Amino acid sequence: MPTAKNMNPETQQKEGEISLVLTDFIYPGETIVFQSGKIESLNDNFFFYITDQRIILYRRRGVFFKKDRIIAERIEDIRTMQYGETGIFRKRGILRIETLSKKMDPIVGKVADVKAIWQEMQKYLRKDPPTY
């Protein structure tokens, strides 16, 4: 079973506590369309979500005292994305995203998960017509 998957509102309820808590951070009318397996960024593990408006890195920690960490960027602010792979025996996918205001820390994870993120993002990035 692949860890990266497209999501719709019906399947979102089946994804467990993480998706239910994530809805607290979703704008009204915003829909989660994609969820990846665990990825690494900023020296932490996150789940990567794509909504119809933003990309979201989210994690929750703690047994008794829950602590959320969320990083969100608007899709329309993304300017460039670069995908690459590293390693020989334990290959890792690396995705670098640059927005209008900053370069995000690289997103690192299993090749299948990171490549799925990159492929899904291609659907949502704005395609500017060429200027001559």
* Domain presence at residue 40: yes
CATH number for the domain spanning 45: value is: 2.30.29.30
* Domain presence at residue 127: no
Higher pLDDT, 36 or 128: 36
Q: Give the residue from 49, 27, 89 showing the smallest Cα distance to 58.
A: 49
| pLDDT bracket for residue 124 (50, 70, 90) | confident
* Domain presence at residue 98: yes
pLDDT for residue 11? 39
Q: What are the two backbone dihedrals, phi and then psi, of residue 26, each rounded to the nearest 5 degrees?
A: -90, 140
* Domain presence at residue 44: yes
> What residues pair up with 48 in beta bridges, in sequence order?
57
* Domain presence at residue 9: yes
* Domain presence at residue 79: yes
pLDDT for residue 22? 78
pLDDT for residue 14? 41
Give me the mean pLDDT over the 28-40 stretch.
Answer: 92
Amino acid 118 reads W
Q: How many domains does the chain have?
A: 1
Q: What rounded mean pLDDT belongs to the chain?
A: 83
What's the domain range around 54? 5-121
What one-character DSSP code corresponds to residue 103?
Answer: B
| pLDDT bracket for residue 120 (50, 70, 90) | very high
| pLDDT bracket for residue 47 (50, 70, 90) | very high
* Domain presence at residue 103: yes
| pLDDT bracket for residue 21 (50, 70, 90) | low
* Domain presence at residue 11: yes
